[in-house]
Chains A and B, each alone.
Chain A
Amino acid sequence: DGGITQSPKYLFRKEGQNVTLSCEQNLNHDAMYWYRQDPGQGLRLIYYSQIVNDFQKGDIAEGYSVSREKKESFPLTVTSAQKNPTAFYLCASSTLPGQGFDGYTFGSGTRLTVV
C-alpha cells in the first residue's frame, strides 16, 4: 500500500539539542510539506518542497531546517534555535498543479516534547 510514514511517533529533546524527524513517502508525490500543530492553533506551515534539492520556507521556518536529497524523503531538523519546540509535527505530500491535484496525504505525526 502506498503511504507516508513518519518516525518516531514520540520524541523527547533536551534543551540545546538538535533532533531530526523522519518523513518518507512511496506515493511518487513531487511535493512534500511539514506542519506544526499546537492546541487551538490549527496547522502552521514550516517548510515545503516541490522538487528534489529545493525547498521553501513556510510561515514559521525559524529554528527549523530541512533537506530533500531524494524524492521520497523530507526530514525535518528541529534545532536548538527553536525556543518552543514542543508540538505535534505533521508531514504531508501531494502531486503538483497539472498532475491532477487531489489534496494532501498526511503521515501519522510525531509528538516532540522538550524535557
Chain B
Amino acid sequence: AQSVAQPEDQVNVAEGNPLTVKCTYSVSGNPYLFWYVQYPNRGLQFLLKYITGDNLVKGSYGFEAEFNKSQTSFHLKKPSALVSDSALYFCAVRDNNNDMRFGAGTRLTVKP
C-alpha cells in the first residue's frame, strides 16, 4: 500500500526567505504526487501535481516542487515566502489503483 510522510509538523520562516516543506512517499508503480493547501475552516486547494515528465513542477502562487525518484521525495518550495502563505500544507500520493493517501500535514508560518 502506498503512503506519504511529512516529517515536520511545523515550519517557520521569515517573510522573503525561501521555504521548503518536505514530503517523502512510498508507492508501488509510478507515483502520482500532489500538494494541497488548506486555510482555516476551508477545504483543500490544489497547488500542483507530478504525474510524468519534468521533475520540477511549477504550481499556483509561485510554489514549485521537485520530484526525486531516488530519494522518493517531493518537497514543496518557494523562493520567497509571503505572510499570506501561512497555512496547512498536505502532500498526497495516488497509486495505479486510484487509492489516494494524504500526509498528516505541515503547518507553515511565515513571520513578517
Contacts and interface: CB of A to CB of B under 8 A. Distances in A.
Interface of A: 6, 9, 31, 40-43, 50, 88, 90, 92, 96-97, 101-109, 111
25 contacts: A6-B43, A9-B41, A40-B9, A41-B104, A42-B90, A42-B103, A42-B104, A50-B98, A88-B41, A90-B43, A90-B44, A92-B44, A97-B98, A101-B94, A102-B49, A103-B49, A103-B92, A104-B44, A104-B100, A105-B46, A106-B36, A106-B45, A108-B42, A109-B43, A111-B41
B72 interface: no
A30 B27 CA distance: 24
Nearest to B96: A97
A40 B104 contact: yes
Contacts, number: 48
Nearest to A107: B43
Interface residues of B, number: 22
A105 B92 CA distance: 13
Given A97-B98, A101-B94, A101-B98, A109 B104 contact: no
Contacts of B45: 106
Given A88-B41, A104-B92, A106-B36, 13 more contacts: A6-B43, A40-B9, A42-B90, A42-B102, A42-B103, A42-B105, A43-B90, A50-B98, A101-B94, A103-B34, A103-B49, A108-B42, A111-B41
Interface in B12-56: 32, 34, 36, 41-46, 49
Contact of B46 (A42, A103, A108): A103
A2 B34 CA distance: 21
A114 B54 CA distance: 47
